[in-house]
Structure 1
Amino acid sequence: MNKQLVAITLASFFTLFILTGCQEAPTVEENPKTDISQNGKQNDLKPKTQKAVKIVKQRTTARTWSEIKASGQINAVKLDWKLESALPRAGSTGAYHTTLLQSFADSRGLKVKWHRVSNLADMFKKLSAFEVDIIPRHLTITTNRLDKYSFTYPLLRDKEVVIAKSGKQDFDEDDDNNISLPIGSAYIDSVSKQYPHWQVNIIEDHVSSQEVADSVVAGLTKYTVIDGFALETLKQYRDDIQSVFTLPKAINLAWAVNLNNDTFLHELNEFISVHHVMQMIEPERTIDFKQLRKDKLPLRVITRNSPETYFLWRGELLGFEYELMRKFADIHKVKLVIVVADSYEEMLELLAEGKGDIIAAGLSRTKARTKQITKAKLATSIRYNRVKEQLVAHQDSAQINEATDLKGRTITIRKSSSFWATAQRLATDFGANIVLANEDIATEILIAQVADKEIDLTIADSNLIAIESSFRSQIITPLTFKEDVPYSYLVRQNNPQLLAYLNEFVRKYYRGTFYNVVKNKYFYNERLQKSHNKYRLVSGSILSPYDDIVRLHVQEYNFDWRLIVSQMYQESRFDPLASNSTGAFGLMQMLPRTAAELGVKDLKDPEQAIASGVQYLDWTRDRFSKDLPVQEQIFFSLASYNAGYGHVKDAQRLARQLGLRSDRWFNNVEKAMLLLQRRQYYNKARFGYVRGREPVNYVRDIHQRYLSYIRITD
């Protein structure tokens, strides 16, 4: 960043505080934090500076099952607007409880209304105050808690483990060990009763297992305690922590409701009993589909973490392969578990060893692969998708009209790619130069390198090219080598029932309405390719048709209204009906689920859409350290708004590992964000793959436009 830009940047953020901080802040009594209204009327979306007039009578008893049924909804609580969870690789994460409670509600014809709190202690306070009916998360059943709350049948039986940084650790249970434990956690009771001679240090803030592990690795904490299941989840993507001791007493983990709420507890326990939802780390198994359903076991689908198959975006699990497999699981009423593999070879191993049941990863059916699959005693389904095999070039590169034009041109490709044979033929027959790409570099990264002129050419399938083209207008496909490359599912040969059901699923849905909607969602959406020139600005002009609404809703949150307008342009080009393929809608491109968390129903209403966007941006900002300079808080919150808070935290963690500053966005964390597109980095990240270039460009574009808006309006 040059000196002039630095000066403009500092001046702009100084202006932000002058404009938004010149009025005296209202007192807490004058400015109660009220929820956004859900009635859809514009005049009910008011800034929080107005007094709340609605008086709600506090309950003195828990709602019975009859009352819950009559209301049509279950009131549940989750942590800190938990709109996203770690990418499930195998087993379960926090999303497990949301899904399970929703299944219970669906089976009883109810909806779930989520309440949000910042820590575990506040969860129990809300339950004790009868503001919610249930805490649906893994809670250890302790003697102290049983005096105050009732618990469902256990959802998991586990043991607690002491963890430390990887490496040599001399842990002796008889020593006076210093153990750091989160405030309000059941681990405090476990340690105090089983090992009273250990020295317990209380961590005042609520922290997740990921954050506790980070503290251990950073040397801030030597030892801490987590659940064994949480450790297994962490070990799926990180190798810098280890278990050094297992507490001998097993624990039961369950959901909590209020004491004596027997009718509600009975319904929950009946659901848990019928569905056998006890979690466990599954052993290897190779049973066929009918037995799997009879035993009420989950269907384990092996796939890759990539933009074509399975990824996490703004807390939503997405991907073409994921959505098809979710439909298949729903049809057959089985739970879906995703198992993420890092390579084609690992996928085959996991399937052959009985650690998964299906491979659904956009695998093309080639002659070479068919021989390998047969040798491994695996079988392929009928074709469920077909793609073209195409050459990818930069639009400014030398023209390619036919294969003979490839003489002397360089094609970069992985040897494990299904396109390797085509590349070898082009080298032999037409004089192309072949460069081996590192096996950790995914095809989408190679396409990005072509777009950035880092490499000359690569080969990819038409589906992935369609995804990348929506973000990279510079790439072209001058040659198509194969028109009809089939994709197939893989199963074991000794699972003929599963293969038959998969083939039936393909015959019924292939090219049908559901299939086409899902395919268009990921591969043919053109929203991001459109050019918007409607609002050309001149000095003194209004910035958008919604300037006044934005000014109204930023007052409380100390945002410069011009920053929000810049973000709104980036999100929707000021189109209140804008939508994208992942379901985001409105001026601020909110997901309906996220909007519902914020109390907003009508994203078509500009005032509600803007209010929800500002509130969500404020929430993302609040989750970062207040020690960050104000401009860095803005950059990090914008990146989180675009890609999701978890991906940004992954990028901060990676930045520290690379020796970059984790408290600076430009030229530091943004570099790490770009690396999270590469397998060697994202397979060790909690939230997995992210299209890193998107949040990087998002922050830069909004920032530059914001600076322009300041010049125009000053």
Structure 2
Amino acid sequence: MSKLLTRLRLALTVLLTLATLLCPAQLALRYSDGLDPIRKRDFLQVATRNGPITFYAGGHGPTGFEYELMRRFAHSLGVSLAVDSDTRIGGVLDDVRSGKADMGAAALSLDPAQPGIRYSQPILTLQPLVVYRRGLPPVRTLDDLVGLRIGVIADSGNAEALRTQQQNLPGLGWREADGLTIADLLEMVERDDLDAAVVYTHQFKLNRLFFPNVERGFALGEPMSLAWAFAANQPIDLLDAANEFLQSQRRHGRLDELIGRYFGHDDYLEYVGARLFIRHVGTRLPRFLPYFKEAARETGFDWRLLAALGFQESHWKPDAESPTGVRGLMMLTRPTAREIGIDNRLDPRQSVDGGARYLLQVKQRLSEDIPEPDRTWMALAAYNVGLGHLFDAQEIAQLRGGDPDRWADVREALPLLQEREWYSRVHHGYARGGEPVIYVRNVRRYYEILKYVNRSQQQFNQLGERALDGSTAPLETVAPLL
């Protein structure tokens, strides 16, 4: 038996040697052809679009669900990531077909009929959703759409969903817009340029907070699949590597975790309520109170403002972490921590100190012509969205005839960074500009609550001292919050 196995191994070796001599090109293609150019240049080139699902510049650097996923994919290949942002879905697919990009990741729906394109396995489900302007009669069925001005982004799965429904409802009509973002489309509904639009559920969840006059209608047709695009005329190695990567992410729970972080809820910026906040003041804040007061002495900020900022960032959780890798009680990026001399972002004392000093640096870079408290509110907005985007909002405020040194005018301008009409006119491009507006609003509310609780506690203690009637015994009351 052992002699037979030896002969079989020898025969297999001879066959492989002959195959190598006879078909070297085919074997080389199998093992290296598709990934070698990427590894030689040391980066993966991806075509994408600006948007909250895909890719945008956040306050702590590039972010977005697909950006985070493709960054992980590039890392799995041992290369860096290069991103080129197009305004059109069709432009993204053209870049993939022509070889200008190695792959496309732009909230693309899997479309087997798309010429010249191969798709990865599905990444997540995309459900087309009809939304409409508040004040119109409720839009609950397909028949309710007849006669409405409906908009959809060209080359998207949502446009295809409408075409499918049109077969059963010939009177259904719509306009396809090329080069618009989801925020642009929702803004058109909000300002009465359109009556309704079709977007994906995930996109609406991420934007609904900024368009209060846009209502959820009904799910349109069957769910679709978000996938990555690859050129059909290129070796299949990169597609195979992407599918293997996605399978691994799904198998180990990392993909579900990422989906949950970005799309698990849509109210993470909403005010959490005084009762919950005050409960955390009593249970979590005392541990970190000395750090906030120490940082306040060093930077000149009110410690209650720093504490409010810390709660908005992490709910006073020292081990908090965001999808983009910012960590700690004050949610610092690695580069920011390094710049201000913080070596352990999960150490709450270091995090509070670093966050306070970073906020001070941001504030010092703002014009001294900005009066208080506007300068502080703008510094908080920049802490969230980044100084570059804040400067852009100031420029937009001025273009609209407002005062770039007034927070009220800059606050009105920030959400316009979501609209192509405006972000295309400034330096740093698209941003989810509605977020810093809500962010500053929340910090200010927490700050006011802390000031109120502090004042009330002092008054309560004074009343207690008078009630002692000269007694030196301790007053038996609820332990003070602060």
TM-score under structure 1 length normalisation? 0.51
On the 8 A contact 1:297/1:335 being kept in 2, the answer is yes
User: In the TM superposition, what is the alpha-carbon distance from 1:338 to its structure 2 partner?
Assistant: 1.3
- Which of 537, 547, 552 is residue 294 of structure 2 equivalent to? 552
Taking the aligned partners of 1:558 and 1:709, their CA distance within structure 2 comes to 17
Does the residue aligned with 1:301 lie in a helix, a strand or coil? strand
* Amino acid corresponding to residue 512 of structure 1 in structure 2: R
The residue number in structure 1 matching 2:65 is 320
Equivalent of 1:629, from 368, 371, 392?
371
Contact 1:313–1:643, Cα closer than 8 Å, also in 2: yes
Return the letter of the residue paired with 1:361: A
Is 1:328–1:505's contact at 8 Å kept on the other side of the alignment?
A: no
**Correspondence 1:552-701 to 2 at 5 A:** 552-576=294-318, 578-591=320-333, 594-601=336-343, 603=345, 605-667=347-409, 669-683=410-424, 685-701=426-442
Cα deviation, residue 394, structure 1 = 7.5
Cα gap change, 1:627/1:401 in structure 2, threshold over 3 Å: closer, same or farther? closer
Percent same amino acid among aligned pairs?
Answer: 26
Q: CA deviation at 1:596?
A: 4.5
| 2:263 aligns with one of 510, 523, 547 | 523
Instruction: State the distance in 1 between where 2:450 and 2:75 align.
Output: 49
Q: Is the 8 A contact 1:360 1:489 kept in 2?
A: yes
SS at match of 1:556: helix
2:47 maps to 302
Picking from 221, 228, 235, the partner of 1:489 is: 228
1:130 equivalent in structure 2: none
Deviation at 1:694, TM superposition (A): 0.5
Partners of 2:109 and 2:227 within 8 A in 1? yes
CA distance in 2, matches of 1:666, 1:451: 21
Q: Please list the CA deviations of residues 192-234 of structure 1 after superposition, one character each: whole Å capped at 9, or x if unmatched.
A: xxxxxxxxxxxxxxxxxxxxxxxxxxxxxxxxxxxxxxxxxxx
> What pairs with 1:88-167 in structure 2 (closer than 5 Å)?
none
CA contact (8 A) 2:165 2:221 kept: no
Alignment of 1:172-187 (within 5 A): none
CA contact (8 A) 2:132 2:196 kept: yes
| Contact kept in structure 1, 2:104 and 2:230, CA below 8 Å | yes
1:265 paired residue number: none
Equivalent position of 1:176 in the other structure = none
Distance 1:659 1:399, change over 3 A: closer
What is the one-letter code of the residue matched to 1:343?
R
Equivalence for 1:458 = 197
Q: Which of 49, 73, 95 is equivalent to 1:350? A: 95
Higher strand share: 1
CA distance in 2, matches of 1:533, 1:431: 52
Contact 2:89/2:154, CA 8 A, preserved across alignment: no
Q: Secondary structure at the match of 1:676?
A: helix
Deviation of 1:543 after TM superposition, in Å, equals 12
Question: Structure 1: which amino acid aligns with 2:228?
Answer: Y
Amino acid at match of 1:588: M
Residue pair 2:108, 2:226 contacting (<8 A) in 1 also: yes
Secondary structure class of the residue paired with 1:413:
strand
Q: Cα–Cα, structure 1 residues 584 and 469, in superposed 2: closer, same or farther, change >3 Å?
A: farther
CA distance in 2, matches of 1:562, 1:578: 20
Change (3 A) 1:434 1:633: farther
Q: Which has the higher helix share?
A: 2
Distance 2:87 2:360 in 1: 36
Contact 1:440 1:680 survives alignment (8 Å): no
Q: Greater shift after overlay, 443-452 or 349-358?
A: 443-452
**Per-residue deviation, 1:619:** 1.2
Distance 1:683 1:490, change over 3 A: farther
Q: What is the aligned counterpart of 2:77 among 323, 332, 348?
A: 332
Secondary structure of 1:337's match?
strand
1-structure distance, mates of 2:47, 2:211: 29
TM-score (norm 2): 0.72
User: 8 Å contact 2:57–2:63 — kept in the other structure?
Assistant: yes
Query: Deviations along 1:369-427, whole A, 9 cap, x unmatched?
Result: x3xx42xx444444444322222357997555543454566544334543124345657
> Could you say what secondary structure the match of 2:46 adopts?
strand
Report if the CA contact (8 A) 1:303-1:341 is conserved.
Answer: yes
Describe the SS at the equivalent of 1:627: coil
User: C-alpha distance in 2, partners of 1:587/1:399?
Assistant: 44
Instruction: Quote the Cα distance in structure 2 between the aligned partners of 1:535 and 1:290.
Output: 52
8 Å CA contact retained: 2:183, 2:419: no
Cα distance in 2 for residues equivalent to 1:414 and 1:550: 47
Instruction: Kindly state the Cα deviation for residue 690 of structure 1 after the two structures are TM-superposed.
Output: 0.9
Secondary structure of residue in 1 paired with 2:126: strand
Residues 601-636 of structure 1 deviation map (CA, whole Å, 9 limit, x = unaligned): 555554333222211111111122233323332122
Bigger mean CA offset, 580-589 vs 558-567:
580-589
Indicate conservation of the 8 Å contact 1:302/1:359, yes or no.
yes
Q: Which amino acid aligns with 2:47?
A: I
Q: List per-residue Cα deviations over 1:544-592 (Å, max 9, x = no partner).
A: 6455543332123222333333333433444555554444444433345
SS for the counterpart of 1:299 is: strand
Structure 1 residues 476 and 561 mapped into 2: Cα distance closer, same or farther (>3 Å)? same
Does the Cα contact within 8 Å between 2:206 and 2:266 map onto a contact in 1?
Answer: no
Q: What whole-Å deviation, never above 9, does each CA across 1:157-205 have from its counterpart, x for those lacking one?
A: xxxxxxxxxxxxxxxxxxxxxxxxxxxxxxxxxxxxxxxxxxxxxxxxx
**Counterpart-to-counterpart distance in 2, 1:294 and 1:613:** 38
